[in-house]
Amino acid sequence: MGDKTKALRKENDDLKSELIALKKEFQSLKSKMAEQKDYNEAAATALSTTQDVQFLVDSYVALVKPESSLSKALENVSRRLDLLSVKVDRIDKTIDEMLYYSY
């Protein structure tokens, strides 16, 4: 049982490392999205004031709509990462209990 438990522990540790890397990548994408939003808002406000109001409204809608769906997608990924993290922690706790009771 010792070798199987050690292998399970190693696999779980690898999952933890991968999860940490995914979370870092997710935060990086979230930051880039915020930067892009700020850039788009600055570009929209820099438009000439003589432009048609309808054009501005259409531009705003075009900017907000994709951002909204992207935000929902990011939130969904965030929830999935959190659930995965809970499951990995639960497996880690189970492995610890197995090791404790095996001696």
- The mean pLDDT of the chain is 77
Q: What is the pLDDT of residue 38?
A: 74
Whether pLDDT at 93 is above 80: yes
- Over residues 12-52, the pLDDT tens digits come to 888 888 888 888 888 888 888 777 777 766 665 665 555 56
- 57 vs 18: which has the higher pLDDT: 18
Q: What is the pLDDT of residue 79?
A: 87
Q: What is the pLDDT of residue 103?
A: 63
**The model's pTM:** 0.57
d(CA 78, CA 23): 8
Tokens of 55: 């054009």
Identify the weakest region by mean pLDDT among 14-23, 51-60, 64-73, 92-101: 51-60
Listed by start position, the domains of the chain span 2-102
d(CA 99, CA 23): 29
Whether 74 contacts 30, CB under 8 Å: yes
